[in-house]
Structure formats: C-alpha cells, structure tokens
Amino acid sequence: MNPQPVAMITGAAGGIGGETAVRFAERGYDCVLLALPSEDLNPITKRIEDAGRQYIICTGDLADLEYAESAVEQCISAWGRIDVLVNNAAWREITTMRKIELASWEQTLRVCLTAPAFLSRWCAAHMEARGEGVIINVSSIQSQMAAGISPAYVAAKGALDSLTYELATLYGPAGIRVLSVNPGAIDTAMGQDIAVDQQATATKIRQASEDMIPLRRWAHPREIAHSIVMLAGEDASYLTGTSVTIDGGWKQQCSPYSVKQ
Ligand code: NAD
C-alpha cells in the first residue's frame, strides 16, 4: 500500500480542481487526477512534482460511468488506498428552462450528480475497508440562490447537497466523512463563462456581483482549494453531513443598503 495518503480529484485541469490537487500535494498527498482527454494537465503535474509528490492521470468523460469506475480501479491497483475523493468537475449550459434541450439537461445531471454519486460509492467501498476516508462534493451557492440561467446545473447542485447529507448518514458509522462546499463567485473559466460572447455584459455582471459581496471581490480558486484541503484534514475531524459556504459573505447579503454606493 502507498505510504502516503491519496486524494482523487475530478476536474483536475480546471481552476478549483487544479489548485486543490496542488494543495493536497503540498500537504503530502499523492494525487489521482481526472480530466477530459483534451485538457492540459502539465501546469498542475509540474507543481505536484515540485511538491515532491506522485500523480496518476486518468482521462475521460465523467458522463461515462465505466470510465469513472476504471479510474477508481486504477488508483487502487497502483496505490491500494484512497483517502479523499473530491467531486469537483462540473458542466453547465447558460440557458433557461424555456430553451434547454433534454440532452443538455441529462449531460449536466450525469456530470454534476450521477458521476459524484457513483464515484462516492466506489471510493467509499475502499474507504470502508480501512475505516476512514473523506468525500467532498463541490456544490455551489447556486444550489440555494437562483439566477434563472442554468436550470439543470442548479437542480444538480441542490441534489448534490442532499446527496452529501444522505452519504454522510450512510457512511458515518464506517468512519467516512462527507461534506459539500458551496463556492460563490470564483475566478475560473466557469466563473467567467456568463455571457462570454457579450463582454460588456460579462463585465457588468462581475462588477454588480462584486458590489454585493461583502469582501468586494471574486475568490481566487486557490482560496476554495485551501478550504477543501482543510475540510479533508484532521482539523475538521467532527465535521460531516453539512455544506460549507465559501462566498465572501455573498449568500447572506440581501439588503440593498449594504450594496457598495
Ligand atoms: P472550471 O471550468 O475551471 O473547471 C471545471 C472542470 O470540470 C473542467 O476542468 C472541465 O473539464 C471538467 N469537466 C466538465 N465536464 C466534464 C466531463 N464531462 N467529464 C470530465 N470532466 C469534466 O471551473 P471551476 O470554477 O474550477 O469549477 C469547479 C467546481 O466549482 C465545479 O463543481 C463548479 O460547479 C464549482 N463552482 C464554481 C464556481 C465559479 O464561480 N467558478 C462557483 C460555484 C461553484
């Protein structure tokens, strides 16, 4: 068995996923990186090497559950353990319920909900055998705050929070903690993809959201990664079955009086 703890991260080439993998490596974890075949993981693997840790790369589409299961098998056959699973990958289309195609709805649910559910099951089977493990689902404040622009995504994220509580209840007696994190506005490709073809609008949306966020800025993805790794560690040993909002105070901000003048 691998002497070092092992963290599996989906969406590892993305903003939050990449920073999370690097942070785990800096904390002594070897990493299993799941990404789409088209993505460049070199900047992330270089930083993992700089931290002196090892990695395994498994590429594929998470909508394909056979691929997802094979990633878990690859990790176990190489290292014999999995300590942390971070269900981070997500896909969304900016659209409305008036227009969304069934194929887009189903793809969103497969990537954002079904893959996390089954990856959790397959990883938890190995965690149960060792009597410990942590599963962290990267949800969104959009699971609780509607914007009217991504119906399948918000439905999947709401369900992902509910799944978190369900799995925490099921696996808690086996020593496995399950949490979700709910990021607010984060400076990544996904954070920036609102109205990408209408730059003026995207800039306006960003400015308006920053004016409402008490910390008055979007987060760097590293700030979410640090919280995820903290929640996976011993300092959070009694935390399970709950969602942790990481949004610079945005969600609690409903008074027009506090908007920047
Ligand atoms: P990102 O676009 O940088 O990363 C998302 C990753 O998911 C990408 O690397 C992408 O390739 C991967 N992915 C998408 N579809 C996939 C598929 N079918 N198979 C495999 N991988 C796939 O965005 P991010 O902001 O780093 O997003 C990470 C997580 O944070 C997501 O769960 C997202 O919902 C959540 N989140 C982000 C924000 C934000 O403002 N950026 C806010 C709230 C929640």
Distance 111 CA to ligand 1 centre (A): 10
Per DSSP, the residues of 25-56 read HHTT-EEEEEE-TTS--HHHHHHHHHTT--EE
pLDDT tier at 206 (50, 70, 90 boundaries)? confident
Structural domains of the chain, ranges and CATH numbers in brackets = 6-188+220-256 (3.40.50.720)
**What pLDDT is recorded for position 199?**
65
Say what the pLDDT of residue 187 is. Answer: 94
Q: What is the mean pLDDT of residues 50-75?
A: 98
Do residues 27 and 55 lie in contact, with contact meaning Cβ atoms separated by under 8 Å? no
pLDDT at 203: 84
What is the number of other CB atoms lying within 10 angstroms of the CB of residue 249? 14
Say if ligand 1 is within 6 A of residue 68 CB: no
Burial readout 169-187 (b: 16 or more C-beta within 10 A, e: otherwise): eebeeeebbbbbbbbbbbb
Model confidence at 19: pLDDT above 70: yes
pLDDT tens-digit map of 68-110: 999 999 999 999 999 999 999 999 999 999 999 999 999 999 9
Which residue minimizes the CA distance to atom 4 of ligand 1?
14
109 lines ligand 1 (CB under 6 A): no
Tokens matching residue 137:
């689902």
Q: Is the dihedral of CA 143, 145, 151, 153 positive or negative?
A: negative
Residue 34 — pLDDT band, cuts 50, 70, 90? very high
Which residue is closest in CA terms to ligand 1's atom 33? 90
pLDDT at 195 over 90: no
- Whether 189 lines ligand 1, by a CB cut-off of 6 Å, is yes
Nearest CA to ligand 1 atom 23: 190
Average pLDDT of span 10-26: 98
136, 190, 251: residue to mutate for ligand 1 pocket, most atoms within 8 A of CB = 190
C-alpha count within 13 angstroms, C-beta hemisphere, residue 79: 22
Pocket test of ligand 1: the residue of 16, 58, 227, 247 to mutate, having most ligand atoms within 8 Å of its CB, is 16
Locate the ligand 1 atom nearest the alpha carbon of residue 157 and give its number: 34
